Amino acid sequence: MMRDILGLKKGGKTPVYLRIIDVLSGVYEKFGVDYPQMRNILSMKMTMDGRRESPMQAVSSNSRSGEEKNHFFSSLWVYALISVFLLFLFAYDNWVFQYTTYFSFLFLMTFSTLLANFSTILLDTKDSILIGTKPVTRKTLGAAKATHVGIYLISFTMAIGAPVILFTFYFNGILAGLLVLILSLLASLWCLGLTLIVYATILKQFDGERLKNIIAYSQISLSIFMVIGYYLVGQIFQIIDPETLLVEMNLTLGHSVLFPMWFVAPFGLLQEGWTLTYGIYTGLLIVGSVLLVILYNWSTDKIESNLQKMNASSLKINKRSVLERIAAAGLCKDPLEKAYFHFSWQLTKTEREFKTRLYPSIASALVFPIVFVFTTLTGDQTAGLEQNPVSFLYLPYFTLLLIPVLTVSIQFSTNYKGSWVFNLTPQQSKAPFMRAALKAMLVKILLPLYLIIAAVVLVFSGWGYLLQMINGFLLMSVVFYLEARRSVKSLPFSREYSASEANLGCMGTLIFFVPVFIISLIMILSQLFIPFGEWIILIIMSGLTIWWMTRGFNEKKQA
């Protein structure tokens, strides 16, 4: 019964999300959407999502034949469980502090998930090709696509916000509980609306391959903006008495660019009464929401009409870079493996879906350490830092959090139908394909990111820690191999991307936090306090890396 809470099983009743959307049918029609058509398209999309094969073979073998199960909804409990840690906020009696932290976290998680996992759906051109030939308006098609993503996004938001919303009803009253519920739903719609408006603006101005690159870069920019914004929001508050948990707020009108604060202002009015700052921020929230609706209504059909520019790029021959040639020559001795290496490198260079899934995560993994360095250098810890530079050593291990997203991303491709060619090859040629794909991603994605962070660490900690930085990269290569063995159940680039599997990488990253913390702590302490610990780890990690690069996946049977 718990599994079918959204009515996704075959032969079940009308799903909850369709019943809710039926109530809003009048709103759709006012915006010029043919609601019956949109509902049919949406119902078909959700049904197909529920029929996707489970990415985990064990789940597939244990599930009943013919059962439709949307794997996205069945994994939302993980996010609700993780968000339980936000309940420490209720130890403070300052509502503005409580909900500033909550909405900042909510926007960061929702925006990151939307950009990394759902941009592929929003920018999909197949609907215009298949359905656009029928008497369906572009506005109806755009509304179906936005609602399709919106269902997942609102479900994700509610999973993250459920603990805080429930405890708000208990600690802060019914009115505050209803307010945080409504504003949480509004926050998810804001994320969707802002993303669509950004894409509409870009699609109007550019076309072809240049458009794909600009969209990828815009996702990186939005990710960086959200991370830096989260840092700036934290500077508004200062804990002045840790024993009584007394918090002082330094909110001014200059912080009005931080739109998550607009969602917090109504709680300030509710607890503290009227102030000019809270009044202005609440007004900005209302006006911003109205403008967002108007801009979305104006841009949604233009997105569908301009999406065809994505396929209008001229044929461009991709030359092999110096790094690609050197890496292939140094890491791949087998000619077949070398060919697979170049194939993986070039495919990920042109795959838009690969970029839209991975680039926001790369930006976040890069910005978090930089924000930490900036915070340390501008705070009161600079003097202590000169005496204890070891506090920087764990920063490169942030790149380990990118591994789950990367291992998920290399499984999907726009040209997944061409994978039948690899199924015709002998079994012994599939292990080189796996090794080559991992080597290509290790050098192309993980190595540059790690080098940037490691360089920052060495600048502030000293070149005496160079060996530790090398060991950290070798550890990352071994963890990458182990995670690929665990999660990659088919050949790389052989699966079609599905909305029901959109949170696989995000969920893997959240689960990865604990082991990454433990591994980095063990690595740092063992190299600092065990005699010749750095050299011992270097020998072990080098041996493991050489082993998987030469013999890895040999015994693994690929589908």
Tokens linked to 415: 């040209």
Contact 83/164 with Cβ under 8 angstroms?
A: yes
CA distance 63 to 518: 34
Interior CA angle at 225 toward 224 and 226, to 5°?
A: 90
Give CA–CA dist 164/85, Å, rounded.
10
The letter for the amino acid at 74 is S
The residue assigned the tokens 């950290």 is 472
Q: Where are the domains of the chain?
A: 72-292, 322-551
Give the DSSP letter string of 424-435. Answer: TS-GGGHHHHHH
Comparing CA positions, the residue from 13, 55, 36 lying closest to residue 137 is 36
Burial category of 65 from C-beta neighbours within 10 Å (exposed 0-12, middle 13-18, buried 19 and up): exposed
Which two three-digit tokens encode residue 378? Answer: 């501008």
8: three-class secondary structure by DSSP:
coil
How many Å apart are CA 360 and CA 222, to the nearest integer?
Answer: 8
* Helix, strand, or coil (residue 258): coil
Q: Where are the alpha helices (DSSP H) in 206-275?
A: 208-234, 260-272
Q: Tell me which residue has tokens 């009515």.
A: 7
Instruction: State the Cα–Cα distance between residues 68 and 483, nearest whole angstrom.
Output: 28
Distance of CA 90 to the CA centre of its chain: 28
Residues 264/103, Cβ–Cβ less than 8 Å: yes
- Distance from CA of residue 164 to its chain's centroid? 22
Burial class of residue 370 (count of CB atoms within 10 Å of its CB; 0-12, 13-18, 19+): middle
Helix (H, G, I), strand (E, B) or coil at 64: coil
The contacts of residue 129 (CB under 8 Å, 6+ apart) are: none
Alpha carbon 419 to its chain centroid, in Å, reads 26
- Tell me how far apart the alpha carbons of residues 124 and 127 are, in angstroms, rounded to a whole number: 7
Size (the chain), residues:
559
The pair of structure tokens assigned to 503 is 């949170």
Neighbours of 359 (CB within 10 A): 21
Q: Which residues of 300-317 are buried (b: 16+ CB within 10 A; e: fewer)?
A: bbbbbbbbebbeeeeeee
Residues ≥6 apart with Cβ < 8 Å to 180: 99, 102, 161, 164, 165, 168, 267
Q: Which helix (H) or strand (E) holds 68?
A: none
Q: Where are the alpha helices (DSSP H) in 71-132?
A: 71-74, 76-82, 95-113, 119-122, 126-130
SS (H, E, C) 378-409: HCCCHHHHHHCHHHHCCHHHHHHHHHHHHHHH
Which residue carries 């699966």 as its tokens? 495
For residue 209, give the DSSP letter. Answer: H
Q: What residues pair up with 241 in beta bridges, in sequence order?
A: 246
84 CA to centre of own chain = 20
pTM greater than 0.85: no
| Per-residue tens of pLDDT for the chain, all 559 residues | 334 444 444 445 777 878 888 888 888 888 888 888 888 888 888 887 766 554 433 333 344 444 456 667 777 777 777 778 777 777 777 787 788 888 888 887 887 777 767 777 777 777 766 776 677 877 888 788 888 888 888 888 888 888 888 888 888 888 988 999 999 989 888 888 888 887 777 777 776 566 666 766 766 776 666 666 666 665 565 555 555 445 555 666 666 667 777 888 888 888 878 888 788 888 888 998 888 888 877 776 667 667 666 665 555 556 778 888 888 888 888 888 888 898 888 888 877 677 767 777 777 677 766 666 666 555 555 444 454 556 677 778 878 888 888 888 888 777 777 767 776 666 667 888 889 999 999 999 889 888 888 888 888 777 888 888 899 899 999 999 988 888 887 788 887 766 555 555 565 666 677 787 788 888 888 888 888 888 999 999 999 999 999 888 876 554 4
**Rounded Cα distance, 409 and 129, in Å:** 25
For 330-369, the DSSP string reads HH--SHHHHHHHHHHHHHHHH-HHHHHHHHHHHHHHHHHH
Backbone angles phi, psi at 129, to 5 degrees: -75, -45
Give the C-alpha separation, 169 to 549, whole Å.
54
Residue 55 exposure: Cα atoms within 13 Å on the Cβ side:
29
Task: Count CB neighbours of 406 within 10 A.
Answer: 23
- pLDDT at position 223, please? 66
CA-wise closest residue to 88 among 72, 105, 69: 105
Angle separating helix axes 352-378 and 447-461, nearest 10 degrees: 10
